[in-house]
């Protein structure tokens, strides 16, 4: 923490709150002002030059940017708004962060305490609105409570299973002056977020592993949240167990590693889903058995035993009963498991004995059921655009310094399939909530947190348009975000479901202005209006050159790639069904 400036002197509540942010290591805040938060913004201009304030063009954009900051750093992402509509514009982002275990803090101005509950101008009971979509929530009614609340809020957001916090601050609480105590005691009776798995529990896991012939690791976002990626890699290599990842687990294990089975679930690889289905031991690490992974729960991984290890005890046995549920920090557990394996006496039974046939079977599935991506001469298919971008970045040795964000839809699944993530915190996407409009603002936050890295938003035209205004933030704040816009003029994922399950009847999924009209909206003209570099391509021959131009651009850049709307994300296990129902073509 930095030194506590202002200690012993009268300060306003707003100045105290801003100083708390600085003391807790916050260096960027995404904040949109209004009547109930003006004292906070005035304090932001006065308290310190160590805290950068970025003005988004919509509160939701600011909160998604805070998520991009948090997901790429592991630190708390902070955003701020005024009361009423400013605060309610945070609701989607809070729900998104709650679903994906992302530590953000949304600070909202509130009407003054004497008029709370009277339907005053721009009043909403935002704590009540957000109670179910936050990890914790505060309405501060006394200026003296600000330092304690902020201390607790940062601790709760980052400890145990990370999550979002909302802190609602009435205007009179912001304006009142007191002498602050910057090191107050916390009042968190009953909150015990950290637990280390016991040696006895981990010994049982290793016993089950020794008895297994076909083990598999099912790794989720908890691997990344707990900074356990290197320990997962060590454990997998020492045991020779293949690793399948959830959407949010991508990057938690190197995609190009010989033990990687890439993503599992609805749009996961055939080989990962086959392996999960046939495994006799499922090691579920930092996962929640989401329906997009399990499909029909009773049929998921029913041939084997399940070990479920998670920091959140409420997830254990919630969806799928585990033979060995373990409540604990996955990072510490993997470190302990690796030490226990290394400390085994000479002559102990090998943990990899008997796995050879299983590995051969997995290799066979991987060789015979790869992801399909065949270039066309008459059109740029979205899969090829993503694959070529990954290859070009790899050729330039840029992958380690590249962060990819996405919106939600087909482009998101294509990115998960064809961009290979070898490092954690380089893949930023909305998983559990599936929030369209997430891609551009989260890229903005990721870029603010990582100014020397290349940040690319892979987006679709429907999702991108929901927060297109943040191009203005990218330009004015000099955040050189790149946007690879896969533009098929449709809500592609819904179109895919219409094609597969509704006889291609279009239920308001066309976004253009007419099939005989030019692309609509004209994203190139829009980008130029924001003074952002831009280009549109339709010919596959132009793809490589345009991608290089985008990658090498010095400022923000939008590459509008026209793609056919008939492409489907495959393979696909229909919702609520099983691996036996997998659609490959």
pLDDT for the residue 277: 96
Domain membership flag for residue 322: yes
**Residue 2 domain-assigned?**
no
Burial 56-74 (b: 16+ CB within 10 A, else e): bbbbbbbbbbbbbbbbbbe
pLDDT digits 0-9 by tens, 165-210: 999 999 999 999 999 999 999 989 889 999 999 999 999 999 999 9
Supply the range of the domain harboring residue 555: 382-562
Please report the beta strands in 126-249, taking only residues with DSSP state E, as ranges in sequence order.
136-139, 165-170, 177-179, 215-219, 243-245
Q: What is the pLDDT of residues 76-132, one digit of tens each?
A: 999 999 999 999 999 999 999 999 999 999 999 999 999 999 999 999 999 999 999
Q: What is the pLDDT of residues 396-444, one digit of tens each?
A: 999 999 999 999 999 999 999 999 999 999 999 999 999 999 999 999 9
Among 151, 179, 207, where does a domain finish?
Answer: 179
pLDDT tens, 302-314? 999 999 999 999 9
Task: Output the average pLDDT for the chain.
Answer: 96
Domain co-membership, 168 together with 203: no
Q: Per the domain annotation, does 184 fall within a domain?
A: no
Domain assignment present for 585:
no
Does 433 lie in the same domain as 294?
no
Residues 223 and 76 in one domain: no
At residue 49, the pLDDT reads 84
* 170 and 42 both lie in a single domain: yes
CA pair distance 194, 47, nearest whole angstrom: 34
Report the distance separating Cα 550 and Cα 329, nearest Å.
40
Tokens at 358, concatenated: 């299983």
CA 250, CA 265: separation in Å to the nearest integer? Answer: 13
| 320 and 208 co-located in one domain | yes
- pLDDT tens per residue, range 238-265: 999 999 999 999 999 999 999 999 999 9
What residue spans of 217-280 are helical by DSSP H?
Answer: 221-225, 229-239, 270-278
User: What's the average model confidence in pLDDT over 570-578?
Assistant: 96
Q: Is residue 168 part of a domain?
A: yes
Domain boundary among 317, 333, 368: 368
Evaluate whether residue 4 is within a structural domain.
no
Contact 464, 441 (CB under 8 A): no
Asked if 162 and 112 sit in the same domain, the reply is yes
Task: CATH number of the domain at 510, please.
Answer: 3.40.50.970
Whether 4 shows a pLDDT value over 90: the answer reads no
Q: According to the model, what pLDDT value does residue 349 have? A: 75
- Give me the number of domains the chain comprises: 3
Rounded to an integer, the average pLDDT of 375-392 is 97
Last residue of a domain, one of 368, 396, 425: 368
Q: What CATH number corresponds to the domain at position 279?
A: 3.40.50.1220
β-pairing, 104-110 vs 165-170, is parallel
Residue 349, CB-side half-sphere exposure with 13 Å CA sphere: 11
Based on the fold, state whether residues 454 and 532 are members of the same structural domain. yes
Same domain, 208 and 307: yes
Residues 44 and 102 in one domain: yes
Is the pLDDT reported for residue 2 higher than 70? no
Q: Is the same domain home to 358 and 387?
A: no
- 18-61 per-position pLDDT tens digit: 999 999 999 999 999 999 999 999 999 998 788 999 999 999 99
- 7 band by pLDDT with thresholds 50, 70 and 90: low
- Tell me: do 175 and 205 sit in the same domain: no
The pLDDT of residue 110: 98
Report the SS3 class of residue 457: strand
pLDDT confidence band for 337 (50 / 70 / 90): very high
Is residue 375 situated within a structural domain? no
Same domain for 511 and 554, yes or no, is yes
CA distance 510 to 489: 6
Does residue 5 lie in a domain region? no
Q: Which residues contact 269 (CB under 8 A, 6 or more apart)?
A: 261, 262, 263, 366, 369, 370, 371, 417, 571
Catalytic residues: 59, 121-122, 171, 493
pLDDT band at 456 (very low <50, low <70, confident <90, very high): very high
């Amino acid at each position: 923490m930095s030194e506590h400036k202002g200690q012993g002197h009268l300060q306003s509540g707003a100045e105290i709150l801003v100083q708390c942010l600085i003391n807790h290591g916050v260096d960027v805040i995404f904040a949109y002002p209004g009547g109930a938060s003006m004292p906070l913004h005035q304090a932001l201009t006065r308290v310190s030059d160590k805290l950068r304030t970025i003005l988004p063009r919509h509160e939701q954009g600011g909160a998604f940017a805070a998520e991009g900051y948090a997901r790429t750093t592991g630190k708390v992402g902070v955003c701020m708004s005024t009361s009423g509509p400013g605060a309610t514009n945070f609701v989607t982002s809070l729900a998104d962060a709650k679903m994906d275990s992302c530590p953000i803090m949304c600070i909202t101005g509130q009407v003054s305490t004497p008029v709370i509950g009277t339907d005053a101008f721009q009043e909403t009971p935002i704590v009540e609105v957000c109670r179910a979509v936050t990890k914790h929530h505060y309405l501060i009614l006394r200026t003296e409570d600000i330092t304690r609340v902020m201390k607790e809020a940062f601790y709760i957001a980052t400890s145990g299973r990370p999550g979002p916090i909302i802190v609602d601050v009435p205007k009179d609480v912001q304006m009142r002056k007191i002498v602050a105590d910057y090191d107050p005691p916390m009042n968190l009776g009953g909150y015990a977020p950290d637990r280390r798995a016991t040696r006895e529990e981990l010994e049982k896991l290793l016993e089950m592993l020794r008895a297994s012939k076909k083990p598999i690791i099912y790794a989720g976002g908890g691997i990344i949240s707990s900074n356990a990626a290197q320990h997962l890699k060590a454990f997998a290599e020492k045991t020779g167990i293949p690793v399948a990842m959830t959407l949010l687990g991508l990057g938690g294990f190197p995609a190009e590693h010989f033990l990687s089975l890439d993503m599992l679930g609805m749009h996961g690889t055939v080989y990962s889903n086959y392996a999960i289905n046939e495994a006799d031991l499922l090691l579920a690490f930092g996962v929640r058995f989401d329906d997009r992974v399990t499909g029909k729960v009773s049929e998921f991984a029913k041939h084997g035993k399940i070990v479920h290890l998670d920091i959140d005890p409420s997830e254990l046995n919630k969806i799928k009963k585990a033979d060995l549920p373990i409540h604990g920090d996955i990072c510490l557990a993997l470190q302990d498991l690796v030490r226990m394996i290394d400390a085994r006496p000479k002559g102990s039974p090998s943990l990899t004995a008997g796995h050879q046939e299983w590995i051969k079977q997995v290799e066979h599935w991987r060789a015979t059921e790869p992801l399909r991506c065949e270039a066309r001469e008459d059109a740029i298919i979205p899969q090829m655009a993503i694959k070529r971008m990954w290859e070009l970045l790899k050729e330039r040795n840029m992958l380690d310094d590249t962060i990819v964000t996405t919106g939600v839809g087909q482009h998101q699944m294509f990115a998960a399939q064809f961009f290979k993530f070898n490092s954690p915190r380089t893949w930023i996407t909305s998983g559990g909530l599936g929030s369209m409009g997430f891609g551009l603002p989260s890229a903005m936050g990721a870029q603010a947190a990582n100014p020397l890295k290349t940040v690319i938003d892979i987006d679709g035209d429907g999702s991108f348009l929901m927060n297109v205004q943040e191009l203005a933030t990218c330009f004015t704040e000099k955040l050189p975000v790149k946007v690879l816009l896969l533009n098929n003029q449709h809500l592609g994922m819904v179109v895919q479901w219409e094609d597969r399950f509704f006889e291609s009847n279009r239920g308001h999924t066309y976004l253009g202005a007419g099939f005989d009209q030019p692309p609509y909206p004209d994203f190139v003209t829009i980008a130029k209006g924001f003074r952002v570099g831009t280009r549109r391509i339709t010919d596959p021959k132009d793809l490589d050159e345009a991608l290089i131009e985008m990658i090498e651009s010095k400022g923000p850049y939008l590459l509008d790639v026209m793609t056919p709307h008939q492409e489907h994300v495959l393979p696909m296990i229909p919702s609520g069904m099983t691996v036996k129902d997998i659609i490959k073509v």
